[in-house]
Structures are given as C-alpha cells and as structure tokens.
Amino acid sequence: MTAYKPEQLIGLGQGLRFTESPRWRGDRLWFIDIHDSAIKSVSLAGDLRTEIALPFKPNGLGFMADGSLVFSDALHLAMKRWDGSTLHDLADLSQTCVFCLSDAVTDPQGRTWVSDIGYNFWNPDAPPAETCVIARIDPDGGVTRVAGDLRFPNGLVITPDGKTLIIGETNGFCLTAFDIEADGSLANRRVYAQLPEGVQPDGICLDAEGAVWVANPGQQGPSVLRVREGGEVTDTIELEHHAYAVALGGPERRHLFICSSEGHDPAVIAAQPSAVLLVAEVAVPGAGTP
C-alpha cells in the first residue's frame, strides 16, 4: 500500500474559508469557497484568484461545453449558470430536493447531476431527511428525479465512456454506482465499493484504472484513500485535519488536489477558518468527469 505526503498549495491566512468541488480546467484548479460565497481558481504555482463573487452560498461545480459554469445556490435549491459575464437561472429544484444541494457534475451532453444531502449545516436543529435523491438537470433547465433512498449522497463522478455514475454515500459508508441509460435515466444500482469501517465518503474523483480517490471527513480511517471497485484500498493519505473533496488535475492529470479543513461548523469557520488546499503527485492519472 502506498502512502503519499501532500504539499501545501494554499495555506492558512490566504483567504480560504471552506473549499469544495475542485475541478481542473485549462491550467488552473477551479473550486467553490462555500463560506466566502465565491468561486475561485489557483495555478500550480499558487496564484489564487476569485473568479466570481456571489450573493449566496454556492456548491457543486460543473463546466458546460461552451465554457459556462454550472453551480448551485445550495440553500435555495436552485442551479445557476455563469457565462463569463452574466449569472443566469438554470433550474429550480425546490420540488425535487429537500434541504441543501451538495456536489454536482456536468457531463459532455450538458446534463448536470446533483445530489441532495438532506441536511442543513446552517440549521442543525432541522431534522435531516432519512433518504435523499439525485436530480438530473437537462440543458434546457428541466429537472428529473433519477434516484432516491440514498444516505447522504455526496461526491459524483462519471466514467470516461459516459455510461456509469458513481456517488459517495456519506452515511452509507460506500460508493454506489448506476448505469446511465441513453435517455439520462439511472438503472442497475449497485455497491461499487464498500469502504472500511468508519470511512464516510465526501468528495471523490476517478482515475484511469477505475479506482476512486475518496475524501474522508469521518472520525475513523485515513483522511484520503484510493479504493478499487470491490473495496480494495491501495493508497492512503493522512492529514492533520479532515479532507472534504479531491480532484485529479495538472498537466498530466496526476496531481491530486485535496480540500482540507479542521471542521465544517459555519460558526467556527466564520470566526477562525482553517481551510487549506493540498496537492500530491500520484502514479495513475485521472479519468472521466469531472
């Protein structure tokens, strides 16, 4: 088993508050800073910039073929599209989802898949939904509920052939896979990988061998682990604090980016943010979407 030691790309005191949804595009890592209400990007040299300042808490980031960004207004259950100059309404998910939108991925056909975590971090007194959903947003803004009965669905990836959607079920302690049918429906739900005891998957990314890198903000197990279909763990990364999201990018897509923070409590983050971005060079390059 390989154990990697990442280096710091963006450290404390550089303006990060809580990062999610890292996506490599062009020569930069794009990501959402939820508690700074912004979408930001950084180069491998550490050049950090704010791309879009927003009037709401964003989450889930995808790219359309024309370069437009798709992301959510997480608490208002809405998807937005930014064309480089103007923010557009894309879809209303208030009739499909419950509390708070989580991760999202946009496929080459322009369809965006988004998970509903069923839990409101800004109002922990609100009871969580016992089961949650995945919704598909078509390019015209149409919304379809494509899966349900999920246990805190979180990170999403699509295989290179576009035929499989893999999702991390945070409270299911597993990776779940679906076949993507030609019409965009999901079928053949199955366990892609049962994770080691206590590992709660958050953000995930896929590599060229079909293995999934998993960010684990749970109290047990490695902070980040690489798991093959079936559950074999091949690589691990231990961090000082929790990992919440991962992405493979860089010139050869062999740089593993890690979003890390001491915790996700909004009050603590507002008073003393601890977010950092880390990077490690790994053996197998990334594949699929994002």
288: in domain: no
CA 34 – CA 49 distance, rounded (Å): 15
Q: Is position 289 within any domain?
A: no
CATH number of the domain where residue 35 is located: 2.120.10.30
- Residue 287 forms part of a structural domain: no
pLDDT band (50, 70, 90) for residue 121: low
User: Does the residue 92 lie in any domain?
Assistant: yes
Q: What is the C-alpha separation between 42 and 33, in angstroms, rounded?
A: 12
Is residue 123 pLDDT above 90, yes or no? no
Report yes or no on 239 lying in a domain. yes
Q: Is residue 130 part of a domain?
A: yes
Q: pLDDT over 90 for what percent of the chain?
A: 82
Domain count, the chain: 1
Q: Is the pLDDT of residue 122 over 70?
A: no
Residue range of the domain that includes 28: 2-281
Query: What are the CB-based long-range contacts (under 8 Å, 24+) for 36-43?
Result: 39/69, 39/71, 39/82, 40/16, 42/9, 42/10, 42/277
Residue 275 within a domain: yes
**Is the entire prediction scored with pTM above 0.75?**
yes
Question: Would you say residue 286 lies in a domain?
Answer: no
Q: Is the pLDDT assigned to residue 205 strictly greater than 90?
A: yes
Kindly state the average pLDDT of the residues 51-79: 95
- At 233 the pLDDT is 97
pLDDT tens profile 17-44: 999 999 999 999 999 999 999 999 999 9
What are the pLDDT digits (tens) for 125-176?
777 677 789 999 999 999 999 999 998 899 999 999 999 999 999 989 999 9
